[in-house]
Structure 1
């Protein structure tokens, strides 16, 4: 339509009704001699106007870019001043949102690690896919001579995948187990730590503050001293018919915890937990949960685990059995 107007000098207004943008952009304007006709604005004038608009946009963009660069330089300078004054700045605690960011941060810390990795792995038997995902990272660390120590719950001992993993890693990894451990923790060279930031572990915290990291190292070392090497057998409870796991369940029952909480802390399913509670009730001759609590206290299962040299313990059930 504009081309036709340029060639012919003008076009009927009615012909331009389908393209109102020609009037809005002032490419066509009414003929002062006959308002039923539209005449074109000269191409040179249109080009000048369009280029002027583009120039204004470019100038505005350059001003915004200059403001952004100036702001960035100001904040960068502020960060240097904080570092110079001994402040930790914004990197002491970093929130990692999403699996990809968490994995990228772990890969970066793994690449920088030079001597030691400490981990706490809660839950029960570790799934094969988790062990496979972590294997490439562990092999890279092993290749650089990095030593690894892992803490698991006692339940993890029953996972063949973990045993295969530890056999593959040979003496590069040392593993111990406890009845229950803290939530997941990974420590690299005692300088950077990773912990979950929510219950479903879709967010994590990367910690580099020396005080926080040292605190977590201390927690790990104290748990490590209490833990039992994976190559060693679990201690006998000293009470006939009651396993080490049932002793742990009994202690948590005595503290008043519900089945689901006990299961989560020991890394077993609720169904398995209830099966052990049923066995405890049968072994101790308890007909109710209340009675079970009383019997647990009577035989001393409500405190710390007994050593293997415990003497005779009377189990007060219907038959007055004696266990050792």
Structure 2
């Protein structure tokens, strides 16, 4: 019946064919209509304008005109709302795309686009290769996480060797955990004095800066997309963040200082400080570049050393012995010698700067 009605009465609920209008009008006037009279217009049942009389199935009673009008207005309202949402999405997309438009080079001094979204490994690698070829002075990188996998070091080796061949200076920041990776040690030995590496308890997300003019940062969590930044304000902001972290970091060739607390390692001190801030195990592990299992093992050892029987008691003991304060104090940079810009020392100044 549905197919038959759709074929002979191709219309929607907001209008009726002449036959349907006559039958529905008769049903409203009389209160009901026989199923036989409604047979030629099955669309009335399909559109729920008529429904069976519960007292006599041979008759159909009409849906009230008020209900029909409400349904009609609701459909029109939904259509208007949908159109408004689509228009809003289109405006938002236009504004976002307009923000990605190239800036006039004469007005801003920026060559090319201020921000470019790189989607996929191929585009990311191509952009990095292009920036590597144009680089002439300095590369700054931040490498978060723990021990760097061999394949990551191998992927970037050709760029690093090309930079070294042109006399470009490189400075890399890692977490302390990276010190235990033999692949990184082999890489640094191969690069010689072209690369200087330092480590911290925790660093910011991945960052690559070429000649302080172009930066690359991840655009999503799985790093399948990246942002290429060329706007001077953004790049300078990232350079400043890097320089401040560099001042706090420990050279890879230097040992990590003793904590001053008997039986407590530097990593356990860092974990204690993050526990005192209220972070969960998974967050602490990610920030320090270790696994959750390793993090919990350190927490258990810390609890045993401090004589804490519970997580709450551990927090109290950390505060009592001053582990949280000691960790923060260890991050205060040493005074810079007179005449050297903040965040740099003479050994780190790139050629020609």
Q: TM-score, normalised by structure 1?
A: 0.68
Query: What secondary structure does 2:197 align onto?
Result: strand
- Within 5 Å, which residues of 2 pair with 1:125-274? 125-274=147-296
The answer for the alignment partner of 1:287 in structure 2 is 309
After superposition, give the CA deviation of every residue in 1:12-59 in whole Å (9 maximum; x if it has no partner). Answer: xxxxxxxxxxxxxxxxxxxxxxxxxxxxxxxxxxxxxxxxxxxxxxxx
CA distance in 1, matches of 2:103, 2:233: 21
Instruction: Give the structure 1 partner of residue 51 of structure 2.
Output: none
Matching residue of 1:54 = none
In structure 2, relative to structure 1, the CA distance for the partners of 1:80 and 1:174 (3 Å cut) is closer
Over aligned residue pairs, what C-alpha RMSD do you find?
A: 1.7
Q: Secondary structure at the match of 1:303?
A: helix
Instruction: Provide the secondary structure at the position in 1 that maps to 2:325.
Output: coil
* Contact 2:102–2:112 (Cα < 8 Å) also in 1: no
Q: Name the residue aligned to 2:79.
A: none
Determine the structure 1 residue equivalent to 2:139: 117
C-alpha displacement of 1:202: 0.6
The structural deviation recorded for 1:302 is 1.2
1:85, distance to aligned residue in structure 2 (A): 3.5
SS at match of 2:223: coil
| Structure 2 residue matching 1:302: 3-state secondary structure | helix
User: What residue ranges of structure 1 are gaps of 5+ in the alignment?
Assistant: 1-78, 308-324
- Contact 2:216/2:227, CA 8 A, preserved across alignment: yes
In the TM superposition, what is the alpha-carbon distance from 1:304 to its structure 2 partner? 4.0
In 2: Cα distance, 1:85 partner to 1:156 partner: 44
Please give the per-residue CA displacement for 1:183-228, whole angstroms capped at 9, x wherever unaligned. Answer: 0000000000000011110110000000100110000000000000
Counterparts of 2:284 and 2:249, CA distance in 1? 19
The Cα shift of 1:89 comes to 8.6
Return the offset for 1:81.
9.2
Who wins on radius of gyration, i.e. which is larger? 1
Matches within 5 A, 1:22-61: none
Q: Secondary structure at the match of 1:293?
A: helix
Residue equivalent to 1:56: none
Output the CA distance in 2 between the equivalents of 1:294 and 1:232: 33
TM-score normalised per structure 2: 0.63
How many residue pairs get aligned? The number is 229
CA distance in 2, matches of 1:81, 1:246: 48
